[in-house]
Amino acid sequence: MSEKIPAHIAIIMDGNGRWAKEKNLPRYFGHKAGVESVREVVRSCARLGVKYLTLFVFSTENWERPKSEVNALMQLLKKLLKSEAKELHKNNVRVKAIGQVERLPKEVKKNLEELISLTENNKGLTLVLALSYGGRQEIIDAVKKILKTKMEPEKLNEKEFRKFLYDSEIPDPDLLIRTGGELRISNFLLFQSAYTEFYFTPTLWPDFREKELISAIEDYQKRKRKFGRILEFE
């Protein structure tokens, strides 16, 4: 691969439920199968030199799913945050989270906080977990924070607004990948994705592996990113 590796890749991990349905299994098994895709993608991004990887793990809308499914997802998340901690730390991965994490169950939040604390000084890949996250909600929450500061409207610009997002340190994604064949971004990183390159694949998330990731990156490498400007050689 060339040296033009996206600094920040964001992924909407879609298709777990359909993967399970195709195999006549409960939806939970699709979520469980998707864990191996997460492991491989994290390892691959670290190896390829990606600086930030943001995974859309659980949205604000996902709370409206059947209670049994939400509970199963939370139990799986609680287990993974603990079981994967050692390897993530060993591989120099720093973990961060964005979203309304205060809505997470107590034990899930505890394991998340412990993982973030354990890895906070690591210098390799930064893995951002979008949990109880919604792009519109992030913007609303940012506006609420701004109103509390009593900032004069004239002083508010894009640079200032970014300071009030869930984590202003995280750069905008260069490449956003959605698996599962749907052609939308489902309320994910709305403010940050203004000039992000999108890549949609019909591959269901549990079947998404390094080969698919590299295909997405190679497609990205063919793009000409203008950011609204005209390139000099055009």
Q: How far apart are CA 66 and CA 228, in angstroms?
A: 42
Residue 232 belongs to some domain of the structure: no
Domain that holds residue 72: 8-135+170-221
pLDDT of residue 224: 84
pLDDT tops 90 at residue 199: yes
Task: Tell me which of 62, 91, 122, 187 is the catalytic residue.
Answer: 62
pLDDT in tens, 85-120: 999 999 999 999 999 999 999 999 999 999 999 999
Average pLDDT score over residue span 218-231? 81
Judge whether 178 and 208 are in contact, CB under 8 Å: no
Q: How many CB atoms lie within 10 A of CB 84?
A: 18
The radius of gyration of the chain from alpha carbons, rounded to an integer in Å, stands at 18
Domain count, the chain: 1
Write the DSSP string, 105-122.
Answer: -HHHHHHHHHHHHHHTT-
Closest CA to 126 of 26, 61, 23, 45: 45
Give buried/exposed letters for 202-234 (b at 16+ CB in 10 A, else e): ebbbbbbeeebbeebbeebeeeeeeeeeeeeee
Task: Classify residue 125: in a domain, yes or no.
Answer: yes
Does any domain span residue 161?
A: no
Inside any domain, residue 187 = yes
Q: Is residue 185 part of a domain?
A: yes
Instruction: Write the pLDDT tens digit of every residue in 137-180.
Output: 999 999 999 999 999 999 999 999 999 999 999 999 999 999 99
pLDDT at residue 53, as a whole number: 98
In a domain, 214, yes or no: yes
Residue 141 is a catalytic residue: no
CATH of the domain at 23: 3.40.1180.10
Instruction: Note whether residue 141 is domain-resident.
Output: no
Residue 119 within a domain = yes
Q: Quick check: is 14 catalytic?
A: yes
Torsion over CA: 64, 69, 75, 80 (sign): negative
Q: Can you give the pTM of this predicted structure? A: 0.94
- The Cα–Cα gap between 202 and 197 comes to 17
